[in-house]
């Protein structure tokens, strides 16, 4: 009896006309990813360059290329002019060290926030809270394309899955951050990306979530998403075999020392996951002191020189000048507005010294 009543009620609801009242203000529409890509396209030469850079990163992950992968650049990009100046310097250095290091430009245009704060160039390019995201997406894509024209591979952290389609053809390496590595949505997204992806360990230092993410991203998925025209769609992915873990430390301290690396390798082996580790020299590994990054870098480099080939790369937060500053009307040129960075001079010296050690090991 109860069942029949329920059926009658549902049938009546299904056939009755419904008037939807929407009092929510109309949202501002953004250009589709396809539209922006058509406005700022990659030519055939740059497309081939990105494919070659991706293959170079894969070769390092697979042990076919003995170079060290180094993702280096500002914590976040807030000023395109200083970011492009940094990229030009990095391109010049890359040409001198490319036999031992594959330098990848860190071009982070999204920033995760623990509570509130500036969310990055893609969100608020004018740095004034106006959140002109259409301009932010356009500016971010334009800037990354200019970096490609310098001959550099480009990397970013993909935070908002809906934004990924605006940049995915430009990128040779992608990070999934400590706060989102555990997210099913980001694991699904990574499974469909055409470039290598690094999953950071959790903010508590746990590597288990990154191991789970690597296994999940390797599998095909069908998930909710948007197509290139911006329409809701069922997205079908093939799985991404080119993933690895990024160690950034945790609440209990650093995790780049030999004992920690050995424990991570044991966890990876237990999960039947390839032993390929990148160390983030900042965050908890440096105690949030940017000037300690060279010490972390040297320690990890020495581990590699002693034969630990599971360490395939490192990440550095570096800008034209060291330190950081708050957003204001009178900001210093080439200084980070998020996490503190190592300055260019110190960065270049550290990388040149590393190359000397690698050449004459």
pLDDT of 293-330, one tens digit each? 999 999 999 999 999 999 999 999 999 999 999 999 99
**Cα→Cα distances 19→12, 23, 305, Å:** 15, 13, 70
Residue 21, C-beta contacts closer than 8 angstroms, at least 6 positions apart? none
Task: List the chain domain ranges.
Answer: 50-359
* Section 78-102 average pLDDT: 98
Residue 7 pLDDT exceeds 90: no
pLDDT at 11 over 80: no
Please provide the DSSP assignment of 85-128 as one string: HHHHHHHHHHHHHTTTEEEEEE-------SSSS---TTT-TTSS
How many CA atoms within 13 Å lie on the side-chain side of 125? 15
Percent of the chain scored above 90 by pLDDT?
Answer: 89
Give residue-wise pLDDT tens across range 41-77: 999 999 999 999 999 999 999 999 999 999 999 999 9
Report in angstroms the alpha-carbon separations of 338 from 53, 72, 124. 28, 15, 14
Contact (Cβ atoms closer than 8 angstroms) between residue 277 and residue 198: no
Q: pLDDT tens digits, residue range 234-292?
A: 999 999 999 999 999 999 999 999 999 999 999 999 989 999 999 999 999 999 999 99
Q: What is the pLDDT of residue 71?
A: 98
d(CA 49, CA 149): 9
* pLDDT for res 26: 74
What is the predicted pLDDT for the residue at 101?
A: 98
Q: What is the pLDDT of residue 137?
A: 98
* pLDDT at 23 (0 to 100): 73
pTM for this structure?
0.93
Average pLDDT, the chain: 93
- pLDDT tops 60 at residue 9: no
Per-residue three-class SS string for 278-344: EEECCHHHHCCCHHHHHHHHHHHHHHHHCCCCCEEEEEEEECCCCEECCCCCCCCCCCECCCCEECH
CATH of domain 50-359: 3.20.20.70
pLDDT at 235: 96
Helix 44-61 and helix 133-149, axial crossing angle in degrees, nearest 10: 80
pLDDT higher than threshold 80 for residue 36: yes
| Eight-state DSSP code of residue 29 | P
Mean pLDDT (whole number) for 24-53: 94
How far apart CA 42 and CA 201 sit, in angstroms, is: 33
């Amino acid at each position: 009896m109860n069942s029949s009543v329920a059926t009658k009620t549902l049938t009546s609801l299904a056939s009755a006309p419904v008037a939807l009242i929407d009092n929510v203000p109309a949202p501002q529409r953004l250009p589709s990813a396809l539209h922006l890509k058509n406005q700022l396209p990659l030519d055939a030469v740059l497309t081939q360059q990105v494919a070659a850079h991706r293959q170079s990163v894969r070769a390092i992950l697979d042990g076919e290329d003995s170079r060290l992968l180094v993702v280096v650049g500002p914590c976040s990009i807030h000023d395109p002019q200083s970011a492009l100046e940094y990229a030009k310097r990095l391109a010049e250095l890359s040409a001198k060290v490319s036999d031992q290091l594959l330098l990848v430009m860190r071009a982070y245009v999204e920033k995760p926030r623990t509570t509130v704060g500036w969310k990055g160039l893609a969100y608020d390019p004018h740095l004034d809270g106006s959140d002109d995201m259409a301009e932010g997406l356009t500016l971010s894509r334009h800037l990354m394309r200019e970096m490609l024209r310098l001959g550099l591979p480009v990397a970013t952290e993909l935070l908002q899955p809906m934004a990924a389609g605006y940049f995915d053809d430009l990128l040779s390496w992608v990070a999934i951050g400590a706060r989102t590595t555990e997210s099913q949505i980001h694991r699904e997204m990574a499974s469909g990306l055409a470039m290598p992806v690094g999953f950071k360990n959790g903010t508590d230092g746990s590597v288990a979530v990154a191991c789970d993410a690597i296994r999940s991203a390797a599998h095909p998925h069908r998930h909710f998403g948007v197509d290139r025209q911006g329409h809701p769609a069922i997205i079908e992915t093939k799985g991404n075999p080119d993933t690895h873990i990024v160690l950034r430390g945790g609440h209990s301290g650093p995790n780049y020392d030999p004992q920690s690396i050995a424990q991570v390798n044991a966890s990876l082996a237990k999960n039947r996951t390839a032993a390929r580790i990148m160390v983030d020299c900042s965050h908890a590994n440096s105690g949030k002191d940017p000037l300690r990054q060279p010490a972390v870098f040297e320690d990890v480099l020495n581990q590699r020189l002693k034969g630990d080939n599971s360490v395939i790369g490192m990440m550095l937060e570096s800008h034209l000048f060291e330190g950081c500053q708050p957003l204001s009307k009178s900001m210093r040129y080439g200084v980070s507005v998020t996490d503190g960075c190592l300055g260019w001079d110190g960065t270049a010296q550290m990388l040149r010294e590393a190359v000397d050690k690698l050449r004459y090991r």
